[in-house]
Structure formats: structure tokens, C-alpha cells
Amino acid sequence: MRMMRRLLPFLLLCLAVLLVPTSAHAAKSQKKAIWGPLEIDGESQFPVYKDLGVGTYQMLLEWDKVGVLEPLDAKDPEDASYEWSDEIDTAISEAKGSGIKVALSITGKPSWASASDYKDFVTAAAKRYKDVRTWAIGDGKVSPAKDYPRMLDDAYVALKAANKSNKVIGANGNTRLKLANGKEARMDYFGTDPTARKAPSKSSLNALKKKAGDHKLWLGPVSLPTSEGASFRLTQSAQASWIKTAFKLIKSDSDVAALSYRKLRDELGAPFTGLMDSDGEKKPSYNAYKQG
């Protein structure tokens, strides 16, 4: 009886440990980035991103939509002409609650603006979204292309002035990176999309590293279609294998900052690139991403 009294606290402790619920969520990884909806049918998708172990949620900050009218003080985020996105505020709030970071990709240019106005808008954006630390500049559609190096370098200076911890993803499909003085525009990460029929290999990754020079790689946004309507098509198992191989390759590679995936769910009328189908059923690629 005395022995049972001595063992009882130990047995109760063991029982308590066994009864503690374990999380099925993947461990969060800063190597994992994703583009996807804030909510579907009124339900936040951040619990899904948390389940996947997403480290960074990416979304657009569209200059041409925020600055439709020319501001009086372009550096002031409180200027009456600016119409900041409520969706970004929502994303930052919900991401913070899930332990996920938000990265903004600044795209577009208002009709009234020139490349020289870009740095002022970036300054205002950095003040407006103080919790954002990762910024992608351009998406391969900057026109004329000759303006991109100056815009990237100006953005780098503005973002570092706002907060030294800010990181800048450059290139992003833009091939012109040299300034008028012959120097390369500054950036922290070299953004490039490795989407292809075959999954990345050591040799293909080394080729991208060579292209990136001294910068770390930000890979993506990757889009792997499992339906017709794209330049190539994978089976669902091949899509999953691609993702699994890619994450295995970059997991311990300090030269790769992240791999970003384009879609959470398939969309009707578009190539099916999601980790889930349009009804929310998980495809094999969902677990491949989660385990990555």
C-alpha cells in the first residue's frame, strides 16, 4: 500500500503526459513560402498554412491600385490619395496570430508615375507596413525594362533606411540588373522561378546559384500544373515528387532562403497547380509540402 502511494504521483504524471494532445501541424520552416487566398467561403486559410508549416505568406502590393491619384506627399502613408489594401492588413494580423511572416511583392505603376517616384512609394509602404520585413521588387513585367535596375536599387535604399532588418528580393524574372554606372542593383535575395517538368537537381541549383552571384536564392513562385492548359503537365504523384525533391535539396542549403509555391487550391478555368483540389481535398502534393 505504501509503495502504491509512492508510485501514484509518478503514474498520474505519466497519464497526464499521455493525455496531452499532440499537434499534427508541420514544424514551421522559413524555407517554406506560399501564395494563396486569405479566406475561402468566409473562413481564414491561415490555419491551413500553419498546418503546412509555412514560414512566409506572400502577396501583392499593387502600386497602381494604392496610388491611383498622385499624392501630395508620396512618402507619407497617411496622404489622402493613398488607398491601402484592407486585405494586407488582414493578412498581417492573421499571419501574426499563426506565427507566419508576410512578404509583400510591389508591382504595377500608376499612369501618373515615373521610375523616379518609385522610391517615395516604397518609403510610404515601409512606414505603413512596419511588421513586414521581406519585400519583392517587380515581377518580370516592369516596362520599360531599362527602369528596373534603378527601381530595385532605389527600393533597396528606401527599405534599408526604414529598417535595417528589411530584406529585398530582386530580379524576379527581370534580366536587366545593371545600373547606368555599370554596377548591379542591390538586393539581398535573388528571386528566380525554377518551375520545370523535372524537379531541381544539384546541378540545376548550382546553375541558379551562379546566376545569383553573392546573393541567396529565393526560389519561386513555383507553379506545377496537373491539368491541361500549361506548357507541360504533371501527374499528381509527379507534382508531389517534385516538391518533395526540391525541399530535400534546399533544406540544409544556406544559399537558399526559401522556396515559394504559387497556389493553395486549384481554380476552375485555370491550370490545376494547387496543393488541394477546388473542393479543398488534399492532393499528394499537400503532404509533400507539409513534410518538406
Q: What is the mean pLDDT of each run of 10 residues along the chain (292 residues)?
A: 47 38 74 97 97 98 97 98 97 97 97 96 98 95 92 98 98 96 98 96 97 97 88 92 98 97 94 96 98 94
Give the N- to C-terminal CA distance of the chain in Å, as an integer: 51
Q: pTM, whole model, 2 decimals?
A: 0.90
For residue 251, report the phi and psi dihedrals to the nearest 5 degrees.
Answer: -50, -45
Residue type, 230: A
Instruction: Give the model's pLDDT for residue 231.
Output: 76
- Rounded Cα gap, residues 289 and 243, in angstroms: 6
CB 112 within 8 A of CB 119: no
Domains of the chain: 26-291 (3.20.20.80)
Per-residue confidence (pLDDT) for residue 19, from 0 to 100 = 37
Cross-strand partners of 102 = 57
Report pLDDT for 280: 96
Question: Which candidate, 24, 4, 41, places its Cα nearest to that of 291?
Answer: 24
Quick one: pLDDT at residue 24?
Answer: 74
Res 12: pLDDT: 44
> What is the per-residue pLDDT for 181?
96
